[in-house]
Structure 1
């Protein structure tokens, strides 16, 4: 009986931690804390998006790849899902769709901040 209870406790603890995981992480940078992918690639927001809607078309997505959600991903709290222009689900934080920048080559690069006056690191 004790083994069953311990196993149930472990299962509950691992299920809760998996459920509570955010799709992105905060990384400390020279610009303060910014959101990144799990591989450390900086995430950006686009001023031309509207809350809950991506306005980055196919050409835009070639330079600013969407931060796509895995199949079966579920929105939780401030993290929501929106459709990219290619129809795939992407992550949004506080209603703002999130993107990466094609010219960022390694973890921690933030070369997309301020591009065109409409791209900003996600904070």
Structure 2
């Protein structure tokens, strides 16, 4: 009987630990891989730019080349990638011919892998714009927006 109780308790303990571990992660990391991500265009102080389905600004890193991310683990901690477990949907204003994904499921627009900035607290924030002169919002034509908001 004692062995059976241990067998029943183990899965419950694992579920509890997994749930606690998820709560400890920053929101940006918890939301990195939605089952269905979408990219759309929003009008901002920078002009029209790419945002995700919730209106959060998407950025590109000037060191990325050939649709491949140059963002290492320290970089990803500050600039989480827009990823999806299925095909990223194109929303209003997005050229679906420019939207693709890497083998690691990161969304790519034109030649630019797409990222969030942890300093953006809510939809519409543009705090990552121009950071280190390497991070910029992306326009619907796939070019970087290099002006200030």
TM-score by length of 2: 0.61
Asked if 1:101 corresponds to 2:122, the answer is no
Q: Deviations over 1:22-77 (max 9, x none)?
A: 920100011100110111110000000002100001110000000112x2326952
Which 5+ residue runs of structure 1 have no aligned equivalent? Answer: 1-21
Moved over 2 A (4+): none
Rg larger for: 2
**1:33-52 alignment runs, 5 A limit:** 33-52=48-67
Residue of 45, 55, 79 corresponding to 2:70: 55
TM-superposed CA distance for 1:104, in Å, is 0.2
Deviation at 1:82, TM superposition (A): 1.4
- Per the TM alignment, residue 89 of structure 1 is displaced from its structure 2 partner at its CA by 1.1
Match of 1:77 in 2: 97
Given that residues 80 and 95 in structure 1 are in contact (C-alpha distance below 8 angstroms), is that contact kept between their aligned partners in structure 2?
A: no
Does residue 1:67 correspond to 2:82, yes or no? yes
Counterpart Cα distance in 1 of 2:114 and 2:86: 18
Q: CA–CA distance in 2 between the matches of 1:98 and 1:104? A: 15
Could you say what secondary structure the match of 1:59 adopts?
Answer: helix
119 and 32 in structure 1: CA distance in 2 versus 1, 3 angstrom threshold: same
| Aligned-CA RMSD value | 1.7
Rounded Cα–Cα distance in structure 2 between residues aligned with 1:23 and 1:40? 10
Q: How many residues align?
A: 97
**Gap regions ≥5 residues in structure 2:** 1-36, 90-95, 140-149
SS in 1 for 2:102: strand
d(CA) in 1 for partners of 2:125, 2:86: 29
Question: Match for residue 26 of structure 1?
Answer: 41
